[in-house]
Chain A
Amino acid sequence: DAKTTQPTSMDCAEGRAANLPCNHSTISGNEYVYWYRQIHSQGPQYIIHGLKNNETNEMASLIITEDRKSSTLILPHATLRDTAVYYCIVRVNTNAGKSTFGDGTTLTVKP
């Protein structure tokens, strides 16, 4: 798996957009970018994934740079319930299950 680098922690004001960056400079052409989050004492929750095009769903948007070496997860209107650890993972999509989790980014949404 390609290694990913994320900031250890970030703060965001409630109601504002939260932009979580991820660097994956060694990503291969057939590797997808996946995002999960883990709220305290719960299992990780899948958020979104993409290959090279930007993606949007009801939870978030994923922006992948043209060279695919980095990406940004955007939570458009952060709420207190979005406080969690966010994990960025890159995987060949033929084997998505064997995902390697790093330390992630602890996002704290403040009132």
Chain B
Amino acid sequence: ETGVTQTPRHLVMGMTNKKSLKCEQHLGHNAMYWYKQSAKKPLELMFVYSLEERVENNSVPSRFSPECPNSSHLFLHLHTLQPEDSALYLCASSGGVTGGSPLHFGNGTRLTVT
């Protein structure tokens, strides 16, 4: 149990599908993040939310749409993806964007786009 739960663990979708990834944290943190980890590449930061407001968007294509309805939940809505979007998508939380709290990660969603 990591305190950060991601669902589903595995997802296979076609390029025309629409799906959503879900992340929930039980740590009382107020910042949440999406990272992407492609095969043989370092983790790439995608989005950062602090107190449900997006504070960082690292030039991510619009086919990825994040949503943070409250400080405990984070979604990543996917549509019209490409095969190169296949990757491990990791959610993390921390005590705050400011304040120096380390990241706590979930175990990720393994996404395959066919």
Contacts and interface: CB of A to CB of B under 8 A. Distances in A.
Interface of A: 32, 34, 36, 41-46, 49, 93-104
A96 B48 CA distance: 11
Contacts of B42: 101-104
A84 to B, nearest CB: 13
B111 interface: no
Contacts of A96: 94, 99-103
B98 A36 contact: no
B76 interface: no
A73 to B, nearest CB: 14
Contacts, number: 60
A41 B9 CA distance: 10
B97 A36 contact: no
Name, among B2, B45, B56, B100, the residue most crowded by chain A CB atoms within 10 Å (CB to CB).
B100
Contacts of B106: 43
Contacts of B81: none
A97 B2 contact: no
